[in-house]
Structures are given as C-alpha cells and as structure tokens.
Amino acid sequence: MSTTEEAPLVRLEGVGKRYGNIIALRDIDLEVGASEITCVLGDNGAGKSTLIKIVAGLHRHDEGVFRVEGEKVSFGSPREALERGIATVYQDLAVVPLMPVWRNFFLGSEKRTGAGPFKRLDIPFMRSTAKRELLDMGIDLRDVDQPIGTLSGGERQCVAIARAVYFGAKVLILDEPTAALGVKQAGVVLRYIAQARERGLGVIFISHNPHHAYPVGDRFLLLKRGRTLGYHTKEDISLAELTAEMAGGAELEELAHELESAGVQGAPELREDARDLGVSD
C-alpha cells in the first residue's frame, strides 16, 4: 500500500438499491483499488448484477455513498461510468460474433483517417494494433480477420478484456466471465484477469464459483438476498472457509444450534457437517 492516503478507485459505503418495493441490495460496502481484484460472490438472485449495474452506470443507488477516486458520484448512464474509466464486460454482450476480431476490438471507438466525405476507417492501424494488444495480453491469434465467433468462449472474453484495457479503463467489471466456460478456458480467462491487475487495473470480478474467485481475488464480498454475508481479504479466509460460507455453512450451524436447543435428535450430526465444511471449530 502507498504511504500517501490514496483513495481507492471505487468505494461503496452502505449502498442500497430498491426496485419498487423489492429491496435488491441493502447496506453494502465494497472497495477496489489499483492492482486489486475484488470478487463478488453469491447465488442467483443475491444481487450481484444489481451491484455492478450501479458501478457500471446502468442503475443509480438509492442509499449510501458511491465514490470514484474519493469523489462522490451517481452515474446516469454507462457512458458516464466509461468516462471515469469504469468499463464493463458483460458475459453475453461482449462481442458481435460474425464480425472480424479487429472490428470487434475497435467497435464503437473506431480509429479514422481522412477528412470530410472521405473520412474512412484506418484499417491498417486497427488491424496491427488489435493484433499487438492481444499479443501483449498473451493472446496469440492466427488472424485478426477471422470472425470473432470462431474463437473459443474464453478467447472472446479475453478480447473484450484486452479492448477495455486498451481504451484506458482503470476499473474493469466482469460479470460472470467464467460461468459458461470449461475448466481449461476458465483458467485462460482467469490468467488474463490476473494480467489486468498486473497492469495496474482494479478489477471487480463477479462469480458464483469460489474455486474461480479465490485464486485470483484480493477481497471477497459474499452476497445473500441483497445483504452482505461476509467481506474478507484474502489473508483472513481460506478457500475451504469461503466455499463453506457460500454453501451456507454458517446457516447450517445456526440451524443445528436451534435444533439442539429444541432437543431434536440428529442435531449433533448437523453440527459435524458444519465443522467439516470448515465453518465452526
């Protein structure tokens, strides 16, 4: 950590969000600094997407404080977030499959040359830049002219990540980038996520798989039904504990306790289970 009290890139304090009368998030704290990976874990419906949509500028929060580099913000659109250096890679919205890799890489931020009606794409620049940037991230493509749909799911995610890095993102939000991938491909994507951190980016990595999150993460926020179940740094939690907490180990123990006090048989076995999961000792 730097000695000067530098504000983290993104910091949420007591953030809450309601959809009408549904409380999707309540009192959430989260932070991510440069060269850090913060993982957000939780089951379906836990509020992970809602949380990152606030940071990405798709929704405004109703409660709490959202700071970017120390400054209070509330984004009205993804563009505003992008201008502050917060880029998001959505799992299913990352690319246009039929378009060549280099066109996908520059889509929406095309480099042009010439003037007036003859303003045109600077194709040689975009081709060679896409090729080089991907190579820098360790993605060695045969041909940047091939449709991006011919790449594997993992490679596609990587191109989307490389693109966000190239266009100057400071914070990268990844919504379940490994969810639909096989073990090997997920490994490839995790390597690029770690690489983005090495390049000084802050990463918010959404996952429901602790085995993907633990090896790369620095901080872990566990969500359940819109509330914080736990917020840990890597030093104070092991993979087994993280897995157990996600699997509801703490609840299991609570249940055992309740049953025990009610004198129900079998409660000790339940307590054993909880211990095996690494929650209590």
Partner 1 sequence: MTIAPPAADERVAARSSFRKLLGRPEIGALIGAIVLFVFFSLVADAFLRASSFSTVLYSSASMGIMAVSVSLLMIGGEFDLSAGVMVTSSALIASMFSYELTLNVWVGVVVSLVVTLALGFLNGLLYVRTGLPSFIVTLGTFFMLAGLNLGFTKLITHNVATPSIEDMDGFSQARAVFARDFTIGGVQVNISVLWWIVFVAIATWLLLRTRSGNWIFAVGGSAASARAVGVPVTRTKIALFMGVSFTAWFYGMHILFNFKSVQSGEGVGNEFFYIICAVVGGCLLTGGYGSAIGAAIGAFIWGMTSNGIVYAEWNPDWFKFFLGAMLLAATVVNLVVRRRAEAGK
Ligand X SMILES: Nc1ncnc2c1ncn2[C@@H]1O[C@H](COP(=O)(O)OP(=O)(O)O)[C@@H](O)[C@H]1O
Q: Which residues bind ligand X (CB under 6 A)?
A: 19, 22, 24, 42, 44-50
Q: 151-160 b/e with 16+ CB inside 10 Å = b?
A: bebbbbbbbb
Please report, as a single letter, which amino acid is at residue 16. Answer: G
Q: How many CA atoms lie within 13 A of 80 on its CB side?
A: 13
180 binds, among partner 1, ligand X, Mg ion, none (CB under 5 to 8 A by kind): none
* Six-digit token string for 180: 């639909």
Name the nearest CA neighbour of 173 among 42, 11, 37.
37
121 binds, among Mg ion, ligand X, partner 1, none (CB under 5 to 8 A by kind): partner 1
- Identify the residue whose tokens are 């993992």: 154
47 binds, among ligand X, partner 1, Mg ion, none (CB under 5 to 8 A by kind): ligand X
46 binds, among partner 1, ligand X, Mg ion, none (CB under 5 to 8 A by kind): ligand X
Does 49 interact with Mg ion (rule: CB under 5 A)?
yes
Q: How far is the CB of 25 from ligand X (least distance, A)?
A: 8
- Cα separation, 135 vs 151, in Å, equals 15
Considering the complex, state which of residue 23 and residue 123 has its C-beta at the smaller distance from partner 1: 123
Considering the complex, state which of residue 22 and residue 183 has its C-beta at the smaller distance from ligand X: 22
Q: How far is the CB of 49 from Mg ion (least distance, A)?
A: 3
Q: How far is the CB of 130 from Mg ion (least distance, A)?
A: 29
Strands (E), the chain: 10-19, 22-32, 36-42, 63-68, 71-72, 86-90, 112-113, 120-121, 171-175, 202-207, 219-224, 227-233
Q: How far is the CB of 202 from partner 1 (least distance, A)?
A: 20
- Identify the residue whose tokens are 């299991």: 252
200 binds, among ligand X, Mg ion, partner 1, none (CB under 5 to 8 A by kind): none
143 binds, among partner 1, Mg ion, ligand X, none (CB under 5 to 8 A by kind): partner 1
Q: How far is the CB of 129 from Mg ion (least distance, A)?
A: 32
Q: How far is the CB of 33 from Mg ion (least distance, A)?
A: 24
Considering the complex, state which of residue 42 and residue 100 has its C-beta at the smaller distance from ligand X: 42
Decide if 7 contacts 20 (C-beta within 8 A). Answer: no
Decide if 127 contacts 112 (C-beta within 8 A). Answer: no
Per CB under 5 A, residues contacting Mg ion are 49
